[in-house]
Amino acid sequence: MVEAILSKTKGDRWIWLIVILLSILSLLAVYSSTGTLAYKKGVGTEQYLFKHLVMIVGGLALMYFSHLLDYRYYAGISKVLMIVTVPLLLYTLIFGNNVNEASRWVTIPLINQTFQTSDLAKLALITFLARTLTKKQEQIKDVKKSFLPIMGSVSAVFILIALANLSTAMMLFGVSILLLIIGRISIKQIGIVCMAGLVLLTLVVFFGPRSATYKSRIDVYMHPEKADPDKSFQANQAKIAIATGGIFGKGPGNSTQRNFLPHPYSDFIYALIIEEYGMVGGFLVVFIYLVLLYRCILIVTASPKAFGALLAAGLSFSLTIQAFANMAVAVGLGPVTGVPLPLVSMGGTSILFTSVAFGIILSVSRDIEEKKLAKDAKVIIGEIPAMA
């Protein structure tokens, strides 16, 4: 059965293994961390576990079908995604569901399921930038034909996300800069993009609708000894969870801080993992994401086409930067944000979009493998007459 499954899955086997490991860890952590939430809602913990399992299975299915599609098709899909994304982000800001003073979610009619539009925006912008940078390589220094369209798309998506979700916008902006560097945009033009991003960031932080929240989080992080206990509550509880976890942890399901952490199943799931599995478990998670980054870099360097390399680079950087940002916040190395741990945190559509990103990376890897096999086959066929 295992051989039959492996025969139908293509691409980097290590990435498939990483996805399976993270999915198993996610099920264990979510089941352990949702006890208090289930109690408050008056339902069984199994209900949240089942819902999360459905999302993981759905994500694996999307990942499988995404990796079967030739990655070159995503160039055309990216145009449609960008056309949909910008109006959708604007709609979310005006009419989206407001949670904690932030409009990040919209409700899908009929199924009554919410999704965070920034997840779609990340996928759209990265694929669009990869396509544009590839298509404009011959005119890459042309300001009017290349630089302005690229800068316009990055700035538009950044500002629309930043007004409600600054941390996600900053990470996506950083990934965009990395893609511009890989795509041979001049240092001068990249400097202009960075300056524009800094101006937009300043405007959002000081004059945006959530400026008070952003300034408060930064102040709490910089001066925790002077902070209001209510505002530093999440960070303090996460530190307690990590401190009491020790080297080997309290064991699966034995967390106590899950009863105090506001979001132990999403934003602070890494703190819960360390509490239950100790520093050993925490370092293992870090190692898994480092291996993921390493395998993705191998795919980027092996890709014969610029679009495939840029696509794999952008998506892999996005996933790993998000992962390390989440873990950094959990251990107190950054101000509190609402960034989930990819494929581990409990989530709805965020798991689905993350799975599609993995599927696209695997599609690039599958293309590399198929070309290598075809090349090897030609070499073998060419050697037969010589041996005769």
Rounded to whole angstroms, the Cα distance separating 201 from 195 reads 10
Residue 176 has pLDDT above 80, yes or no: yes
Segment 350-360 mean pLDDT: 93
Quick check: 357 and 305 in contact, CB under 8 A? Answer: no
**How do residues 15-51 score in pLDDT, each as one tens digit?**
999 999 999 999 999 999 888 888 788 888 888 889 8
Residue 248: count of CB within 10 angstroms of its CB: 12
pTM: 0.90
| Per-residue buried b or exposed e for 313-336, using 16+ beta carbons within 10 Å of the residue's own CB | bbbbbbbbbbbbbbbebbebebbb
Matching residue, tokens 């316009």: 152
Burial category of 191 from C-beta neighbours within 10 Å (exposed 0-12, middle 13-18, buried 19 and up): exposed
Of 42-56, 177-191, 204-218, 277-291, which gets the smallest average pLDDT?
204-218
Quick check: 60 and 22 in contact, CB under 8 A? Answer: no
Residue 100 has pLDDT above 70, yes or no: no
Q: Which residues pair with 108 in a beta bridge?
A: 113
Q: So what's the pLDDT on residue 15?
A: 95
